[in-house]
A and B are shown apart, each in its own frame.
Chain A
Amino acid sequence: MLPQSTRRQFAQCAALGVGGVGLSGWLDVLAARAQAQPAAAAAPRRARSVVLLWMDGGPSHKDTFDLKPESRGAGEFKPVATSAAGVQISEHLPKLARHMHEGVLVRGMSTPEGAHPRAKYNLHTGYREGQGGLVYPSLGAIAAAELGRPESPVPAFVSIGGRSYGSGFLGPRYQPLMVQDAARGVEDLRASVGESQFGRRMGLLDEMERAFHGEYRAPLVTDHQTTYQRAVRLMQAREGQAFDLSKEPAAGKAKYGTGKFAEGVLMARRLVEVGVPFVEVTLGGWDTHNDVFNRVKNLSAQVDNATSALLDDLRERGLLDSTLVIWMGEFGRTPNINTRGPVPGRDHYPRAWSLAMWGGGLRGGRVVGRTDREGATVEDGKVGTADFLATVCELTGIDHTKKNETPTGRPVQIVDKPKPFTSLVV
């Protein structure tokens, strides 16, 4: 049998001194301990939370953040000036244009994968799918492991409105809590019976657990109890209300716009407020092989409303400097406009593309990397997948040179051979 893993040790620490305490007693113990812990002083200029706005399908860089009005494949959209000197973005992102002095545009993204699943995997994990025969943890799982607070009743990684990449070899403790539909909240967060009946059920379960543990004394039983207790705490925790959008005043909701993405971004803000280190919100529909202009116009409006509302709210609450907001997809789209369908479109293009970041202690108003006249190649300041992820790690105080161990004891660095560009943006 293998030596006990750190996961198990953690579980035992968490459950320390609670053997034989009933559920409610256990909750009291933990609540008391959580209060007794002073909030850790954050390192200066280090984000404590990340909100990843995931643009699923690959947004066209030439129709959002890197317009090329002089190029052969110029789109229909006009560039407009922003609050960052000399930086122009699409006319369909007018509200974000007023936030560009708080943000950094990365126009030098250049990545290896051009098929959706492999590219999504690469951008989420920093590794290529299948590399070394491992399943790698995604950035959210890494953030959960490195930044999560064990005493928090809310899981450290929440993913809203899409599928995400999970915790891979880091194990289930760091996998995302999935929220399929923000309006409906967390699946299974509410008991299927009334509160008092649920309490009685937990009482019965607690009796069974104690009897079994008394006889078999297997550490596994402690782990099982710990997981259940954490789940019940989440069901009962005040922080759990962050998942309930009905608690949000109507005035606060409206500015996010309407639709699932708007609801997801609002939920992300509520989760950041209760200290969740990593929230991912997905907006699908960016795979615009045809009808690129109508579709990007519509998607831009959703991005513009929700993201600017998020940035305003974070600033108002004093959370913008400690929250890094990232807008990105898995690649860009071809500089040329295709004529394969009745309406023009653009195809997958990982060679040169853009992403944007705001808050998180960034020195705003900057642009990293430059593409050529066509938006086809990165002429200066090329940023690869590992470079970008390592930069995010540095902005959040995660040591990306740390080696995590796979279950078979192989050391795997959080990010492999990166050249982060942190110094350019803080």
Chain B
Amino acid sequence: MKPFRLLAAFAVTLGVTICLGDLTTAQDAPTKADKKAKNKNKNKLDPAAQAPLRPAVPVKPIVLPSGPKDAAALARIIDAEVDKALAAAKVATSPAATDEEFVRRVYLDVTGVIPTGEQARAFLDSKAEDRREKLIDDLLASPNFGKRLADVWFPKLFPRDSNNRFVLRDPLVKWLTDKFNANTPWNVFVFELVTATGTVEENPAVTYYLANRSVDKLTDGITQHFLGIQLQCAQCHNHPFTDWKQTEYWGMAEFFARVRPDNPKNANKGGDNTKVGVQETAARTKVKDFFPESAKQVAPKFLGGAEVKIAATEPARPILARWMTAPDNPFFAKAMVNRTWAALFGSGFVNPIDDMHDDNPASHPALLDAMARDFGRNGFDVKFLYKSILLSKAYGRTSKPAAGNDKDEALFSHQAVKVMSPEQLFDSLAQATGLSQQVAARQAKNPMAKGQPSGPRDQFVNFFLAGADAFTPTEYEAGIPQALRLMNSRQLAGNPQAVRLYQTNAKDEPRAVLEKMFLATLARRPTPAEVTRLTNYVQGAGTQAEGYGDVLWAILNSSEFTMIR
């Protein structure tokens, strides 16, 4: 897949203005012509789409409302900008999502699990005008919000790497969950993570350094996750289609040169891997394999910014973290806004979401810029950012295409149909089949050992990721083994116990049983045609339980279940 979109061509024809990152200090930046030459063989797409873009007119920043935080006001700005681009492109807008679509989508996006039958019913039966806003507030306040975001961030911060088999996982999972639930400002969160020092027991954030024990992993990860920039190619050669030079790479890497992570394996032999940790020392670290063969030693330098003098007596990471998290940092706020937008729409303003550079422009540059400014001005309030997007009409649209807008993949004319992540799928299946309670009981009895994944949820997630380190919500990537497991395992859709959640008594009306089942899985009531068809089916089956079991099996294996519409 190419990190370029036809939208670039779109933007040109629309006169949409492109906001260039303010890389003011890259004195030897190649000219546009140089870049064009470099790009020539890079892409098989329409050459017009690959031409470097020049702003037709200077970007006029969107004026943000002053005064107290107001999510609804920001949502209105989002909608004005999105609608403007749609109108300019003459792309039709799909109508608002139904309550059925909305409730399931927002539960999965914010808390990582489908609503229970009762939760779905309560929302669908509510007549309150502000029911969507109220639901958004409730979900953002739910402890599952932190769990969901921990699921998203944990794999980024804790690579699946054999070297990590002695590193404890749980402390970092808990730390992430608690931080997101407490709505820790994003700049504080990142500062704490980047500067983490001490033992796992004292500060679980040091787990990040224990799980990434080399200077290149730290440099790649921190720039990618928190600044939205893919630097890793610049480790060994100058980046082919951006301004990043090897000197930039090693200038950033230098901030981590004095990090000294313990070897978790040693603690493991002593039996207590909560006592390992991370220190920063006065001299370059001697940790084995910490510097790759390609390492260069240059003065520490902020990415696209100034070189820094750091005294040996002073730790380097706080200096980096202060620069990263400053409200005027050109990358930091934008990276998180783009990432959050992508989590809720299936794709960002910039895609891939962590590959933001001049030649990969945003679809809505002025909006991204305004939202990033607002994010910084509001104290990097993550829940507020979520809420303003969730309140927008753009988020609340149906995912059904309308009036020929089905080809639009970049202007948000309709919501994307997304695929559940393995974690979302497991939690939703477990809830709908009653496995959750059993799992909870079993895990309470056998807490995780040695940082190895354990328990059915981790096994399921590993099985579904199949060694891939990232999950793409816009691609259906499960293969034959996963489909076989979903269809034929007696622990999942074919769990013979699950029907009892919906048919508690042989005298239950089929209509009522089916309604319960549909609400608890698809967050909607069955259509009259479905009620008729499925009632006949159940009555024609060998036994009622068998018939209901078949219906439940079909629902849980369906696209409608495994996707977020």
**Knowing A169-B468, A407-B472 touch, does A121 contact B480 (C-beta < 8 A)?**
no
- Which residues between 212 and 245 of chain B lie within 8 Å of chain A, taking CB atoms? 214, 216-217, 220-221, 230, 232-233, 235
Residue interface bits A197-228, CB-to-B below 8 A is 1, else 0: 10011001101110011011110110111011
Interface size on B, residues (CB 8 A): 76
Residue interface bits B158-197, CB-to-A below 8 A is 1, else 0: 0111110100000000000000000000000000000000
- Which residues between 458 and 497 of chain B lie within 8 Å of chain A, taking CB atoms? 466-470, 472, 474-485, 487-490, 494
The residue on A at minimum CB distance from B467 is A166
Chain A nearest Cβ from B410, distance in angstroms: 6
Give the contact-size bracket for chain A.
Answer: 35 or more
A234 at the interface (CB under 8 A from B): yes
Verify B159–A187 contact, CB threshold 8 A.
no
Verify A220–B484 contact, CB threshold 8 A.
no
Verify A218–B1 contact, CB threshold 8 A.
no
Which of A129, A134, A405 counts the most B-chain CB atoms under 10 A from its CB? A129
| Contact partners of B474 in chain A: CB under 8 A | 1-2, 220
Verify A172–B559 contact, CB threshold 8 A.
no
Verify A177–B417 contact, CB threshold 8 A.
no
Partner of A205, one of B469, B479, B558: B558
- Which residues between 373 and 426 of chain A lie within 8 Å of chain B, taking CB atoms? 405, 407-410
| Contact partners of B2 in chain A: CB under 8 A | 2-3, 405, 409
Verify B1–A2 contact, CB threshold 8 A.
yes
A231 at the interface (CB under 8 A from B): yes
Chain B nearest Cβ from A290, distance in angstroms: 18
Verify B160–A2 contact, CB threshold 8 A.
no
| Contact partners of B469 in chain A: CB under 8 A | 134-135
Verify A208–B554 contact, CB threshold 8 A.
yes
B208 at the interface (CB under 8 A from A): no
Chain A nearest Cβ from B561, distance in angstroms: 9
Inter-chain CA distance A7–B472, complex, in Å, is 13
B338 at the interface (CB under 8 A from A): no
- Which residues between 116 and 155 of chain A lie within 8 Å of chain B, taking CB atoms? 116-118, 121, 129-130, 132-135, 155
Which secondary structure dominates where chain B touches chain A? loop
Verify A208–B555 contact, CB threshold 8 A.
yes
Q: Which stretch of A42-50, A55-63, A188-196, A264-272 is in the interface?
A: A188-196
**Knowing A130-B159, A408-B230 touch, does A1 contact B554 (C-beta < 8 A)?**
no
Verify A192–B559 contact, CB threshold 8 A.
no
Chain B nearest Cβ from A7, distance in angstroms: 7
Q: Name 28 A/B residue pairs within 8 A (Cβ), A-sorted.
A: A2-B1, A5-B1, A115-B162, A130-B163, A135-B468, A165-B467, A166-B466, A168-B467, A172-B479, A178-B481, A192-B488, A192-B489, A192-B494, A193-B494, A200-B537, A204-B551, A208-B555, A215-B400, A216-B400, A216-B417, A221-B563, A225-B559, A228-B483, A231-B487, A405-B1, A407-B352, A407-B472, A408-B3
The chain B residues found within 8 Å of chain A, CB to CB, are 1-6, 45, 159-163, 165, 214, 216-217, 220-221, 230, 232-233, 235, 346-347, 351-352, 355, 399-401, 406, 409-410, 416-417, 419, 466-470, 472, 474-485, 487-490, 494, 533, 537, 541-542, 546, 550-551, 553-555, 557-560, 562-563, 565
A172-B478, A220-B476, A235-B488 given; name 16 further pairs at CB < 8 Å.
A117-B163, A155-B479, A165-B467, A166-B466, A169-B468, A172-B468, A192-B488, A200-B541, A208-B560, A212-B558, A224-B563, A227-B482, A227-B483, A234-B484, A407-B472, A409-B352
Question: Which 4 A-B residue pairings sit nearest by Cβ, starting from the closest?
Answer: A117-B162, A166-B467, A1-B409, A204-B554
The chain A residues found within 8 Å of chain B, CB to CB, are 1-3, 5, 7-8, 11, 115-118, 121, 129-130, 132-135, 155, 165-169, 171-175, 177-178, 186-193, 197, 200-201, 204-205, 207-209, 212-213, 215-218, 220-221, 223-225, 227-228, 230-232, 234-235, 405, 407-410
